[in-house]
Amino acid sequence: MAAPLGFFCMLLLLLLQLGHSSCNNVYIVYMGARNPELHPALVRDAHHGMLAGLLGSEQAAKDAILYSYRHGFSGFAAVLTDSQAARLAGSPGVVRVVRNRVLDLHTTRSWDFMRVDPSHSAGILPESRFGEDSIIGVLDTGIWPESASFRDDGMSEAPRRWKGQCVAGDRFNVSNCNRKIIGAKWYIKGYEAEYGKMNTTDIYEFMSARDAVGHGTHTASTAAGALVAGASFRGLAGGVARGGAPRARLAVYKVCWATGDCTSADILAAFDDAIHDGVDVLSVSLGQAPPLPAYVDDVLSIGSFHAVARGIVVVCSAGNSGPYSETVINSAPWLVTVAAGTIDRTFLAKIILGNNSTYVGQTLYSGKHPGNSMRIFYAEDVASNNADDTDARSCTAGSLNSTLVKGTVVLCFQTRAQRSAAVAVETVKKARGVGVIFAQFLTKDIASSFDIPCFQVDYQVGTAILAYTTSTRNPTVQFGSAKTILGELMGPEVAYFSSRGPSSLSPAVLKPDIAAPGVNILAAWTPAAAISSAIGSVKFKIDSGTSMSCPHISGVVALLKSMHPNWSPAAVKSALVTTASVHDTYGFEIVSEAAPYNQANPFDYGGGHVDPNSAAHPGLVYDMGTSDYVRFLCSMGYNVSAISSLAQQHETCQHTPKTQLNLNLPSISIPELRGRLTVSRTVTNVGSALTKYRARVEAPPGVDVTVSPSLLTFNSTVRKLTFKVTFQAKLKVQGRYYFGSLTWEDGVHAVRIPLVVRTMISKFYANS
């Protein structure tokens, strides 16, 4: 058996006893913005020359280098020792040398729910031509090109500005691209440098842009899938499946693999290509969980910075670590960071006990149920000998006695340590059980269960079922078939799993920015791999996560870009945030799934839940450009020369505390208010030339807020106006966040931004 690589590294160090010796790793050598006067080939040659000078020969450089980033920015990824990386870090022109990191991956009803309907003349779709000629780049697990969602019926040839290409590979030919899928590339050098050659006999995967996982196909079809009638997941969620921009083009960049891993070297290569290829929107449903790296060390932040500088809107998922605070990821101010919300659809089935009591549970199980009643046990009563009561109660892995569980249904209760219905299903299945009832806090996120039925109920129903099992000698249960329920649920709500703010890296930048549907979303799937032994393959699948909410916003952005091609990424984000809704379909304030439920706030949803039709005509936008983002990076205290290389212009950083507060974001977030503070914002009129906007303030509790001027008058020559907002703390309570809003109204538009204030004690007294 081969000894681990780490053993040889340790042995080498001991033998040589040299602190500068080390094993090879993948490093990204970032060199800032590319000189536009240099041809990309010359940039590549310069990278090879620098590496050859370090390693001693052209051949050694060729063997070590993985990628040369030479289109959107300059740099390369290479296999280096730690000491070689350290030497490069001190070389002229090198901004940063960072270790390759591994990042994680994070429909029939959702677009109707958001009132984006291609069958009606109302709304933004006709005006946007269904997103025609907008190009959405998707960084994900690839695509299943044969899916009906990617038909190109009636579409014209790709826009002339498109420079991308389709790269052939395993079961993916150039002919798999069409007028819908106009680009397809795949990136594995960074992955294989970390983990070794991928063995497709052990892992079901394609060495091409073909999707073996389904995640990339799901996100791509959500953003830009064609209309597919009769779509469903085994009869559930039936209807017409479609993407938000059904006539937009797709460019696929496969950076994530069947293991769920996506390396930063591969991701940065995809960003570099996407900038060169000419995408309008980048949809990125992946990221790195906290602790968050500095923006100048985070390749997703670096790649997206250069993309946004070229006018590309970059949309990212907020993460799935909710409902805990400070878990939001992808928090750079130039990104659109998306939280997940629910829609007004669920899937219910009856639970009929032996005493004829009937309850209702949520389930995605669509298989056949036994015609007869089944014995039901409380999990603690069928615990394995070595399991404690808490583990058994929640059906933690290995906690059940397979002899007792065989052929029965098990009632499990969620605990602090084991919250997942999916884990309970796997535990019961391995113990040869035939069904699960999982009692938990209220949530609309339904666990996938394909081989045995799983019914999710709240604690009240679970307790009633428990009372029946303990009071009856031979308790039994029958399950009804799942049915799709539409329009009878309050929605949207912020999903339990959706990561919350504030940003742990830059709390003055409010994150997430916006919420969109991300719970129980039906979209295209790859039929390549069976989703279970009982079901086999499917063409459409229901899935949940901020990975699903991200492409909803990407699709909306494609529509907006079709209508407003000259809008900057900041203007597009502003339109989304300032027109978002903070109320559900019944007019009540949106709530946040948690334990217990509570009223949602900007740390849950940013500006609110997206309203695509209103975003098309926002009236005013809070615009920004690259220089604003550079000033933000200066305010973070990063190296001035590094920032200058990033922006390809000499910067003299003025590190003032208020720089971040005055960043022209469509929000105001003050992480430390001590007494009195004034910040400024500038709005650009994108509506009628002659108009007046009046300020309306909902002040955060305990804070006085004044706006000056409170009336903004625009005309044919005055398109931009600046105003100041002054905050005065009335309470001296340390560490507490309060929420409010500022809305500019002209009788037609209501341009709303969230106000977030954390009051702090301004003075400490010796005798206090």
Active site (catalytic) residues: 140, 215, 547
Task: Tell me the HSE value of 27 on the side-chain side, using a 13 A CA sphere.
Answer: 23
* DSSP secondary structure of 559-605: HHHHH-TT--HHHHHHHHHHT-BSB-TTSSBPEE-SSS-EE--HHHH
**Helices and strands, number each (H, E), in the chain:** 20, 37
Sheet containing strand 135-140, strands side by side: 181-186, 249-254, 135-140, 281-284, 313-317, 336-341, 514-517
Q: Phi, psi at residue 113, to the nearest 5°? A: -60, -35
Choose among 514, 503, 429: nearest CA to 737: 503
Is residue 457 within 8 A of residue 465, CB to CB? The reply is yes
Check: CB of residue 191 under 8 Å from CB of residue 263: yes
Closest by CA to 501, choosing from 734, 333, 697, is: 333
Q: Which residue from 755, 665, 759 is spatially nearest to 706, judged by alpha carbons?
A: 755
CA torsion, ordered 606, 302, 27, 43, to nearest 10 deg: 160
Structure tokens given for 95: 């901004």
Q: 342, 382, 379, 535: which is closest to 450 by C-alpha?
A: 535
Residue 411: name the closest of 428, 397, 399 by CA: 428
Q: What is the DSSP string of 373-394?
A: -EEEEEGGGGB-TT--HHHHHT
Alpha-carbon distance of 475 to 30, in angstroms, equals 65
* CB burial of residue 416 (10 Å; 0-12, 13-18, 19+): exposed
CA dihedral 491, 496, 499, 504 (to 10 degrees): 120
Residue with tokens 């290569």: 269
Reference 702, options 678, 661, 673; nearest CA is 673
Is residue 422 within 8 Å of residue 449, measured between CB atoms? yes
> 313-317 and 281-284: which strand pairing?
parallel
Are the CB atoms for 358 and 343 separated by under 8 Å? no
Closest by CA to 619, choosing from 487, 764, 744, is 744
Q: SS3 for 412? A: strand
Q: How many CA atoms lie within 13 A of 247 on its CB side?
A: 19
Using an 8 Å Cβ cutoff, are 556 and 248 in contact?
Answer: no
Tokens of 498: 């959706």
**Owner of token pair 């870009």:** 561
SS (H, E, C) 216-234: HHHHHHHHHCCCEEEEEEC
Taking Cα atoms as reference points, which of 521, 241, 482 lies closest to residue 347?
482
Q: How many residues does the chain have?
A: 768
Cα-Cα-Cα-Cα dihedral of 505, 509, 513, 518, to 10°?
A: 10
Locate tokens 């307790």: which residue? 463
Q: Residues with Cβ < 8 Å from 64, sequence gap 6 or more? A: 51, 55, 78, 79, 80
State the greatest distance between any 2 C-alpha atoms of the chain, in Å, as a whole number.
84
**Pairwise CA distance, residues 398 & 431, whole Å:** 8
User: Residue 276's closest CA among 72, 51, 124?
Assistant: 72
